Amino acid sequence: MVFKKNILLGVAGGIAAYKACALTSKLTQKGANVKVVMTKSATEFVSPLTFQALSRNPVYTDTFDEKDPNKIAHIDLADWADIVIIAPASANIIGKIANGIADDMLSTTLLATKASVYVAPAMNVNMYGHPAVMKNMQQLDEWGYHFIEPGAGYLACGWIGKGRLEEPETIIDVLEKHQSVEPFLQGKKVLVSAGPTHEKIDPVRFFTNHSSGKMGFALAEAAAKFGAEVTLVTGPTSLTAANNKINRINVTSAQDMYEAMHQYFPTNNIVIKAAAVADYTPKLVYDEKMKKQPGDLQLEMTRTKDILLSLGEIKTNQFLVGFAAETSNSIEYGLNKLEKKHLDAIIINDISTKGAGFGGDTNIVTYVNKKREREDIELASKKEIAEKVLRFIDRDMKDEKH
């Protein structure tokens, strides 16, 4: 799966840089076109000439060394790459990427690329477990970077523990398995809603809920990974879609989301409403900030439009999927929703269960199609759950010949 791929190998400083030489050689032997970018620290361990000989391509170490006056080197490299591998990835380079720092050739190129990035950390066991490093890795994971976990064993520093760069063969195996994902949604258009809505009271205040948008974003990213053309309608959230090919539509209120979903609904094959839309909105919205008054406050609320029901009533050949986030009798309420809203499938989760629900990176769900066939997905990351749900949807669509 790496044959004829343009692979950019980023080598950061560390004794494990010697393994990057073998990685370069093995990738080249497999038919990949490899170019290497080294940090200044990396050149203290391995000579750029070594990588040049192994890759048969120029090696890049200096942002300001423009080898071709017709091109900006770091932009040209960023655009050229199909895949980027950082091996070894030091705590320093991980921290730079996670915090948007671009102060050398490698970090600048990494911020400019739109290719899939694989990170293979290598460092002292205590550095690897430091809260700052863990936080930076978590941030990159949320942005869609792929991690190749380090191995455990005797480290060059003398410590024994996790932090040893994985072997080149393992890195390539992970790369090939990931790149071989079957694009079973190729040719399909997928519409996903995500996040909360904000229902305005005045210029300062609004009603909302605890939805983070993570489940909806995971579904959109998985659909894009499997080859679909994806539109993501999202309420206010700090999340960033890992795949830059996703068409992101930002909305604020329940009415905004209603209009956006109806706009894109007719042209999509699969529609998944994962957003937690407000059921009620203030009847009166104040133009100026409400001042604090003595006593209690009463606000009159009006019902928002039921987006899922309205889509179910007009669907033609779309496969429509809803979510039922409940705190009790979740299966019963979910099945009622499946029937009442004319859905093809419902994803039910009890948000009161530990590890499930809003905000977290994991979930526990039950997928039920309109034939009442049930699939229970135990505690897993929202990314894993999204992939399994899309496979169930694809199976059911084929059964019904959508």
Residue 245 labeled ligand binder: no
User: In sequence order, what are the beta bridge partners of 397?
Assistant: none
Q: Under DSSP, is residue 207 helix (H, G, I), strand (E, B) or coil? A: strand
Query: Strand 229-234 relative to strand 247-250: parallel, antiparallel, unpaired?
Result: parallel
Rounded Cα distance between 200 and 281, Å, is 8
Residue 67 labeled ligand binder: no
Rounded Cα distance between 373 and 393, Å, is 12
Q: Are 275 and 257 in contact (CB under 8 A)?
A: yes
Q: Which residue has the tokens 């936080």?
A: 135
Residue 226 labeled ligand binder: no
Q: Which of 22, 112, 157, 249 is catalytic?
A: 157
Establish whether 21 is a catalytic residue. Answer: no
Residue 279 labeled ligand binder: yes
State both tokens at 94: 């991980």
Please name which of 48, 18, 52 lies closest in space to residue 167, comparing C-alpha atoms: 18
Rounded Cα distance between 194 and 235, Å, is 6
Query: Strand 319-326 relative to strand 301-303: parallel, antiparallel, unpaired?
Result: unpaired
> If you count DSSP H runs as helices and E runs as strands, how many of each does the chain have, helices first?
13, 20
Cis bond upstream, residue 236 (ω within 30): no
Rounded Cα distance between 397 and 402, Å, is 5
Side chain identity, residue 159: W
Compute the radius of gyration of the chain from its Cα atoms: 25
Residue 289 labeled ligand binder: yes
Rounded Cα distance between 354 and 323, Å, is 18
Please name which of 150, 151, 172 lies closest in space to residue 26, comparing C-alpha atoms: 172
Q: Under DSSP, is residue 305 helix (H, G, I), strand (E, B) or coil? A: coil
- DSSP H or E run through 337: helix 330-340
Rounded Cα distance between 395 and 401, Å, is 10
Q: Which residue has the tokens 């970077």?
A: 145
State both tokens at 138: 């978590």
Enumerate the active-site residues: 157
Residue stretches of the annotated binding site for CTP: 279, 289, 323, 337, 341
Residue ranges for the binding site?
279, 289, 323, 337, 341
